[in-house]
Amino acid sequence: MPSNRLNVVAADKSEISDTRIFRPKIDREQSQAHFEKLWHRNAKQFHPLRNCMERERLNRSFALLEEHLSLQGKHVVDLGCGGGIFSRRLRDVEAKVDAVDIAKNALITLESEDTTDIKAIHDYVPRTRLEDSAYDLVVCTDLIAHLPNKEHRLFISELARLVKGNGYILCSTPIDIHSEDALKRFSSLAETELQIIRWKLSYHRLFIRLRDLFEAPSRYARARKDREYRENARKESSSFSRWWFQLNSAPLLGGFWALFQYLTNPIASLLRQNRVILLFLEAICRLLWRESGVSHAIFLAKRRPLVMKLTTDTHR
């Protein structure tokens, strides 16, 4: 199976050997360097209000919390807080928030606005230095997709470690629409440590495909002139997609797309910002594709009781 954002696999025991004893420090440094660069290059890519789909994900996450618990006076940690949009929303309903991110550039953005009852913490997920069982609510939105596959199990364990025995965990992730059974793998992974209370799924596969279709001309046109952008796009693609992208960003076709984008860009912009279209396409997608149309998953969970966990592990 090709590598993608959510190919959940069992941890290889060879990865946890004595020869890798200093690996966590290396991972921490590499992760910080990676995200500092991304924040410096384009901070907007991490803004959860940048388009209608991201706003809808944020609103659904918060609505799921409000359906099941009161946040007033709760001690909450927001892992991978970014610029603090969700942290401030939690604070505004009177929660006390620890906002954690590996990128100092993200925390600078967070601290540029009001941080009353928000404590910025520079730390690395999934190996934080935070205390065990310290939080009434652990929040982690769309972070696991940025972690290497080998860190996925550790990530779920970290969520379980941080939450109090009677506390809650809110976790979300984009689901790779090009990968089979990604949602099932994510669910199986989460249930190794957590007891799921409620799922909230988004069916935006059709929306994403249409958006990508109308955004393609501008991407090809940009890649024709921007070598760094072209190389980064190629690295993130499969072999056929890489060939197709290279073909369309070549001087001849790239020049054609540079003109054609003036027709497609207004449509792409409308799709990115129009919630009515998003929800209409979601309804069609859910009807036609059902679970295979899922593009994003949110769950609310509790830490699995030890006895239940031991029983589950015995039957695996």
CATH code for the domain in which residue 58 is found: 3.40.50.150
**Do both 35 and 103 map to the same domain?**
yes
CA atoms within 13 A on the CB side of 105: 14
**Statement to judge: residues 241 and 138 lie in one domain:** no
Residues 61 and 129 in one domain: yes
CA nearest neighbour of 249 among 261, 240, 258: 258
Residue 23 confidence (pLDDT): 63
Q: In the chain, how many domains are there?
A: 2
Does a structural domain hold residue 283?
A: yes
* The pLDDT value given to residue 4: 43
**Calpha distance 111→180 (Å, rounded):** 40
Instruction: Name the least confident of 33-37, 67-71, 276-280.
Output: 33-37
The average pLDDT across 163-175 equals 97
Predicted confidence (pLDDT) at residue 52 exceeds the cutoff of 90: yes
Is 161 a member of any domain? yes
Tell whether 163 and 252 lie within a shared domain.
no
| Alpha carbons 31 and 124: distance in angstroms, whole number | 8
- Residue 243 clears pLDDT 90, i.e. is over it: no
Average pLDDT score over residue span 95-124: 96
Res 21: pLDDT: 39
Confidence of residue 20 (pLDDT cuts 50, 70, 90): very low
Q: Is position 119 within any domain? A: yes
Note whether residue 313 is domain-resident: no
Final residue of a structural domain among 156, 174, 192: 174
- What's the pLDDT band for 235 if we cut at 50, 70, 90? confident
Q: Are residues 133 and 265 in the same domain?
A: no
Q: How confident is the model at residue 19 (pLDDT cuts 50, 70, 90)?
A: very low
Counted residue by residue, the chain has a size of: 316
Give domain status of residue 315, yes or no: no
pTM of the model: 0.86
**163: in domain:** yes
Specify the higher pLDDT residue, 315 or 124. Answer: 124
Per the DSSP assignment, residues forming a β-bridge with 163 are 135
Boundaries of domain holding 275: 205-290
283-294 b/e (C-beta count within 10 Å ≥ 16 → b): eebbeeeeeebb
